[in-house]
Structure 1
Amino acid sequence: MQIKNFLIDESLKELTKHHTVVLPIACYQTTITQNIHGYIPLHWHDEIQFVLIVKGEAIFQINEDWIVVREGDGLFINSGRLHMAQEKDQSGCVYICLNLSPYFVISQELYTTYVKPYIQATNLPYLYVDANEIWGKNILDAILEIYQSIEQKPQYYEIDITMQLTLIWKNLIDNGFKLEYVQTEVLKSKRMKEMLSWIHQHYAEKIMLEDIARAGQLSRSECCRYFKRFLKCTPLNYVIDYRIQKSLYLLQQGDSTITEVAYQVGFNSTSYFIKEFRNSMNMTPLAYKKNKMHKDEAGFVY
């Protein structure tokens, strides 16, 4: 089993380059639990994303909403939206992920008319793609075709992919979804990203609620409401969770002690770090470190 580290920057923007050698797209299979965190952490990217669940079920968060996606169904996630994923009920969830630049969906001459309005719509952070709907099945079949084309690379497969992308987008916009544009929704997303970005830049320092609120130009109470709305937790609980996430990589480095890791990620007490780590990971940092070393010796790839 390969354990993957999901790379994002301080603003939560994903650092993975979503392109093949010649096309500004990426299409690959993901097993959620093989991520270093055991789930796909909160992030965003400029690319639009389509997901096809091929095994099990997944719970996706997009902005403030939580959605269960069933096996055989899929999801469209719009450009720039905060999202994360975890498997549901230990179902061994595996999905095909298609990420692509909005500018590559259809020809540039048609972008302003047929793509830009959907990218900018504030009421379209995501769309559930139901295999029981004709338009949904067409999209999901096309995702699978693209995945197989990239894997097998038959002659002219790049042309085949562009044809499938056009089919996907036509079915997406042809389902009758009514677009809305509300500036306050844009501002909410911007403020949330700014607060999360500030936390990710300063997580190793002493952090107060006032600091986080100031980053989003909000009052303390409004800051708490934003985190409850978007993440179902308090700002300071998010800081603790993020520090635990950052500690996982450090614990895999053989020369780091538990105390060193605790202070590097912002905990001012080793015992408090161990307590919070156990609450989050259901094991102590030392057990996690030993488990990692054992897997290394057994030939696992990280």
Structure 2
Amino acid sequence: MIQSRVRVKEILACFYQRRKPNYQFLPSSHPYFEFTYIDAGKLYTVVDEKEYILHSSQCMVYYPNQKHTQYTSASSGCSYLTILFEMDMNIPDILKNKIVLASQQMRLEMKRFIKEIQFDSWMHKEMSLVVFQRILIQALLEQKNSVKLDKECETNTELDPILLYIENHMDKDISVEELCHTFSLSRSSLQVMFRNALVLTPKRYIVDVKMKRAKILLQEHRCTISEIAYQLGYHSLYYFSRKFKDYFGMSPSEYVKSLQQ
């Protein structure tokens, strides 16, 4: 006999948020679960008086009555999905105080979820519950790649200076060879560090960070597309536009128009 140990009873609210630099959500708690998924940028969070950073493609679940706050840094904004829900779970606290890196399967499920909730029929609403439940179960399966809030793993600690270097040199065409030379690492060692901590190659991580930063900069409407390309180390507007379209499925100019709809 197979019995469900995780059951989503109700989705109370769902919203996609774009936050500018220096945003802060004051500390609060509520009697239901809250799921947060980072689409782009970095979101700082304080949970039970402990401070941590959620990076793009990471998610976490705040438990009922768990005090928390969220905010962005002075230098960058953030885009993220928030889902408030009620759930029966016979695995106590299994996702509490965990940061989970969303797998490709989880990301595909989230796209399906966002598609379903846009329809008003009861069938699509039922499907959105089913899909969101799959997302949570997938998060449980991804625990081996999660980071406990009260303990940073050794690999991430070693990787922090490299990630900070990438963030501080966005205006350059950063290569894997440059990272190896700067941090006195072999190419294979660098690859292993990134795969163990982020399930990505260094090259892919650099592209991910730059494309998601580009998305945030376009949302803020402070710079032209050419200026954003230059800020991110792309000295060819055509090449930048092609990379953006390959990543998001639309050109930078098309994305800007979609924000105005």
Given the two structures, how large is their TM-score scaled by the length of structure 2?
A: 0.52
C-alpha contact (below 8 Å) 1:204/1:266 kept by paired residues: yes
Deviation of 1:269 (Å): 1.5
- 1:268 aligns to what SS in structure 2? coil
Is the alpha carbon distance of 1:220 and 1:18 closer, same or farther for their aligned partners in structure 2, counting shifts above 3 Å?
A: farther
User: Residue in 1 aligned with 2:199?
Assistant: 232
User: Residue in 1 aligned with 2:178?
Assistant: 211
Aligned residues: 181
Q: Which structure 2 residue ranges, 5 or more long, are not aligned?
A: 1-13, 53-58, 65-86, 115-131, 137-144
Deviation of 1:266 (Å): 1.8
User: Counterparts in 2 of 1:183-198, with a 5 A limit?
Assistant: 186-198=153-165
Is the alpha carbon distance of 1:249 and 1:42 closer, same or farther for their aligned partners in structure 2, counting shifts above 3 Å?
A: closer
Verify: 1:269 aligned to 2:259, yes or no. no
> Given the alignment, which residue of 215, 223, 237 partners 1:256?
223
> Given the alignment, which residue of 113, 128, 148 partners 1:91?
113
Q: Relative to total residues, which structure has the larger strand share, 1 or 2?
A: 2
Is the alpha carbon distance of 1:124 and 1:241 closer, same or farther for their aligned partners in structure 2, counting shifts above 3 Å?
A: closer
Q: Structure 1: how far apart are the matches of 2:213 and 2:224? A: 15
Q: Structure 2: how far apart are the matches of 1:8 and 1:218? A: 34
Q: Structure 2: how far apart are the matches of 1:41 and 1:290? A: 24
Deviation of 1:285 (Å): 0.9
C-alpha contact (below 8 Å) 1:6/1:41 kept by paired residues: no
Verify: 1:19 aligned to 2:27, yes or no. yes
CA-based RMSD: 4.5
- Aligned AA (1:202): H
Is the alpha carbon distance of 1:53 and 1:272 closer, same or farther for their aligned partners in structure 2, counting shifts above 3 Å?
A: farther
> Given the alignment, which residue of 214, 217, 220 partners 1:247?
214
Verify: 1:77 aligned to 2:85, yes or no. no
Given the two structures, how large is their TM-score scaled by the length of structure 1?
A: 0.46
Q: Which structure 1 residue ranges, 5 or more long, are not aligned?
A: 10-14, 55-70, 97-122, 128-180, 295-302
User: Residue in 2 aligned with 1:5?
Assistant: 18
Q: Structure 2: how far apart are the matches of 1:186 and 1:249? A: 29
User: Residue in 2 aligned with 1:51?
Assistant: 61
User: Residue in 2 aligned with 1:66?
Assistant: none
Deviation of 1:75 (Å): 0.7
Q: Structure 2: how far apart are the matches of 1:124 and 1:263? A: 34
> Given the alignment, which residue of 25, 34, 38 partners 1:29?
34
Deviation of 1:186 (Å): 4.5
User: Counterparts in 2 of 1:135-150, with a 5 A limit?
Assistant: none
C-alpha contact (below 8 Å) 1:198/1:215 kept by paired residues: no
- Aligned AA (1:51): V
Deviation of 1:271 (Å): 1.6
Q: Structure 2: how far apart are the matches of 1:252 and 1:50? A: 24
